[in-house]
Structure 1
Amino acid sequence: MTSLLSALLAVVVAAGTAIVIVESLHLVLQRLGRRSSLLCDLTTTAHRPFLATVTVFAVQVAVRGFAGEFPGRGGVLHTLVILVIAAVAWLIGALLLVLEDVALAKWRIDVPDNMKARRLKTQVQMLRRVTVAAIVVITLGVVLMTFPGVRALGASVLASAGLISVIAALAAQSTLGNVFAGLQLAFSDAVRIDDVVVVEGEWGRIEDLTLTYVAVQIWDDRRLILPTSYFTTKPFQNWTRTGSAVLGTAEIDVDWSAPVESLRAELRAVCEGTELWDGRVCVLQVTEAVGGMIRLRALVSAHDAGSLWDLRCLVRERLVTWVFAHRRDSLPRTRTDVGMDHGYAGSALDGNAAASPARGRRGGLDRRGDDEAVDDARVFSGTGDGDERAAAFSGPDEKISGAAEPTSEPELPVVVTPSR
């Protein structure tokens, strides 16, 4: 009875002393934390695990050193050892959270140029998850090794480790594949948190990236959950891998009589009148002329994918409104030729050829003014980043060695038409 009372007294004194010391240290760090964000995070996150670790350790030392023999002493000491191991693991996990906050404090992701911050956040979160999983596994292993029976079993387990590892690898093949795929994604920069992607026909952003799955937030607030191995085995579009600025198109079909230059001027006015446009690309081109209509493609640029979507819709709406308001005769129409006077058509064609003698000489096109073409009609040339884009999609502009340049125009063959 005396030994039990002394044990209880030692536990109370040790626990009280530990609590007083930890709380006093906590108050001091709170005052210092007003000037240091690191100390502030430390006192907030690591307070409880540090208190638990110090208290349990003090109680264990008191029971071992000051308490005598009492019934169940061995079981109590074993329980305290397990609690110390668990408390230390909790403290290490809390310190990891503090280190993560310190690493990410200097890098914000709510700014326009946040590519480095998103990469760092992805890697830090992945490392934290791996480290926490390792801490849990190691803690469980250390706790099990405190039991004498498990230590004896460990020798036989190690003897058959080869067979067990093969069986475990076969049983958890898909899980291990996702884990390694998650690590590969975190450090290969193929995809990062807050990246805008197009996957499985859906457009969204990477909301969360774990060791086993990736959560994609779709534009309409749905969530698409995919295994991490999907992004290492199947193709997908990443719109923000090197930057958030992107290009987009808005297409409309109009009649052949539509004034392209006037529509091009309207596109320029629309882009310059909205903050959605980033000032890089504003181009209108005729991409198709089949089926009795021509297709106009407006290529515009924006700072990010969300702004690009709104800009594309705005451009399409304004161009359609302009055509309907100013050139209603240029709306898409279907022509049906029920009869044709071939003689009149032939004379008209001959008249056109006579009126434009430069057509036969220059391939049917009057190219006067080509050098004065506006930049809004060019994608891979002109001012802005057109020349840079052209260089990225073309090979080296070098002449083949040994090729002789023509010194004069080639002679045309003479065609003799027999007289009737």
Structure 2
Amino acid sequence: MQPWISSTIDQFNAMPDWLRIGTAVIVAATTALLLHRLFYHMLERWLRATERIAWLMILRKTKGPTGLAVVLFFVISTLRLMPIGGLIAEVLIRTAQLSLIALLTWVTIVTTDIFGLVYLRRFRLGSQDDLTARKQLTQVRILKRAAMTVIAVIGIGAMLMSFDAFRQYGVSLFASAGVAGLAIGLAARPLLSNLIAGIQIAITQPIRIQDVVVVEGEYGTVEEITSTYVVVRLWDWRRMVLPLSYFIEKPFENWSRESSSLIGAVTFSVDYSVDVDAIRAKLEQLVADNARWDKQVVNLQVTDAAQDTIQLRALVSAPNASASWDLRCDVREQLIAFVRSEMPDSLPRVRQQILPQVGPGETQLAPVPA
């Protein structure tokens, strides 16, 4: 057995360099794939038995990248152990190192994304008051994207630092962190400000996913929060894109900060002769029959008295901004129709009286005080 092994080694050493390198790479890759396949099936069976859903999803999503990473690791180790040199070996080792770092970065990003998705599975959006779900969704999405950005930067940095030239430049840059460091800081200011603003928004949460906001005089809903900008879906389906730093540095309105419920107001003017109690009773009947009312607030008040008319204000509550808008429109339309049909004399009008004649054949008109 020993002479056969020695003969095989001698024959292998007698091969040309390219053939030895190719044979070694094929053997190392085959061995790595077999070991990875065996370990994968064993780990998958154990995760199924223990019902670890998150880790099972990570294992399946990263099956290809981890297999390639294992192959690269075996290939790098084999090439380093072989008595070969020259440009070919250096290029192969360098390429395999960079690929391994890229794959590990990819696996880490995928793992972070899956952990975020598994955590958010316990929350459901779409309920009447999904404040907790929107809070968690906003936090996880922003922090997950910030973490992915940091992981990607670390991975790119590790790939660059594997080159001696970049490593020496980095050491000299840190040693003379003066004007160069200031220039890099100024150049990266927009990116860093948005990244810091994203972390602030995730922690303090001035806005959340599906919050109803008024920005730049426009009414809309927060549709998406990325690591650098926020997408607001306006009422007419347009999209307004704003940087994250906008919501830290500038004032804006958030109509669903603590709760999605809102109180809407409907104002209209009527004559002094109107029966306020009858309109109040009609308002209560209308909102009771309207499915958009959340059965919390309904009220009618006289809020102003002008020379010719009085102003009535109806307050009604709804579970969210969209329902509040529709409920206000329904109440306004139906109350106007009620006054027009049941109290036509109470519609706004201008009174006049005829004064005594001031001259032969002349009369003078003047408004009558309300």
Alignment of 1:250-289 (within 5 A): 250-289=266-305
Correspondence for 2:314: 298
In structure 2, the CA distance between the partners of 1:338 and 1:6, relative to structure 1 (3 Å rule), is farther
Count of residues in Structure 1 that have an aligned counterpart in Structure 2: 341
Alignment of 1:127-146 (within 5 A): 127-146=143-162
Deviations 1:76-133 (A, max 9, x none): 1111111111111111111101111122121222323321222222122222222221
Higher strand share: 2
In structure 2, the CA distance between the partners of 1:57 and 1:337, relative to structure 1 (3 Å rule), is farther
Alignment of 1:322-341 (within 5 A): 322-339=338-355
Shift of 1:28: 6.3
**For residue 100 of structure 2, what is the amino acid of its counterpart?**
V
Gaps of 5+ in 2: 1-14, 358-370
Conservation of the 8 A alpha-carbon contact between 1:6 and 1:68:
no
Shift of 1:254: 1.5
In structure 2, the CA distance between the partners of 1:18 and 1:340, relative to structure 1 (3 Å rule), is farther
Conservation of the 8 A alpha-carbon contact between 1:264 and 1:284:
yes
In structure 2, the CA distance between the partners of 1:110 and 1:26, relative to structure 1 (3 Å rule), is farther
Which stretch has the larger CA shift, 47-56 or 231-240? 47-56
Which stretch has the larger CA shift, 169-178 or 123-132? 169-178
- Match for 1:96 among 107, 112, 121? 112
Give secondary structure in 2 for the equivalent of 1:193. Answer: coil
Give TM-score, length-normalised by structure 2.
0.84
Conservation of the 8 A alpha-carbon contact between 1:53 and 1:91:
no
1:60 aligns with 2:76: yes
- Match for 1:18 among 8, 21, 32? 32
Whole-angstrom CA distance in 2 between matches of 1:20 and 1:287: 81
Give secondary structure in 1 for the equivalent of 2:351. Answer: coil
Whole-angstrom CA distance in 2 between matches of 1:10 and 1:112: 63
Give secondary structure in 1 for the equivalent of 2:316. Answer: strand
Give secondary structure in 2 for the equivalent of 1:244. Answer: coil
**For residue 10 of structure 1, what is the amino acid of its counterpart?**
A
In structure 2, the CA distance between the partners of 1:312 and 1:24, relative to structure 1 (3 Å rule), is farther
Conservation of the 8 A alpha-carbon contact between 1:7 and 1:67:
no
Correspondence for 1:165: 181
Deviations 1:220-242 (A, max 9, x none): 21111112222122221111111
Correspondence for 2:17: 3
Deviations 1:152-193 (A, max 9, x none): 222321122132222233344444333322221221121111
Alignment of 1:196-211 (within 5 A): 196-211=212-227
Give secondary structure in 1 for the equivalent of 2:352. Answer: coil
1:245 aligns with 2:245: no
Give secondary structure in 1 for the equivalent of 2:279. Answer: helix
Gaps of 5+ in 1: 342-420
In structure 2, the CA distance between the partners of 1:56 and 1:111, relative to structure 1 (3 Å rule), is farther
In structure 2, the CA distance between the partners of 1:52 and 1:336, relative to structure 1 (3 Å rule), is farther
Give secondary structure in 2 for the equivalent of 1:299. Answer: strand
Correspondence for 1:186: 202
**For residue 74 of structure 1, what is the amino acid of its counterpart?**
E
Conservation of the 8 A alpha-carbon contact between 1:30 and 1:39:
no
In structure 2, the CA distance between the partners of 1:30 and 1:113, relative to structure 1 (3 Å rule), is farther
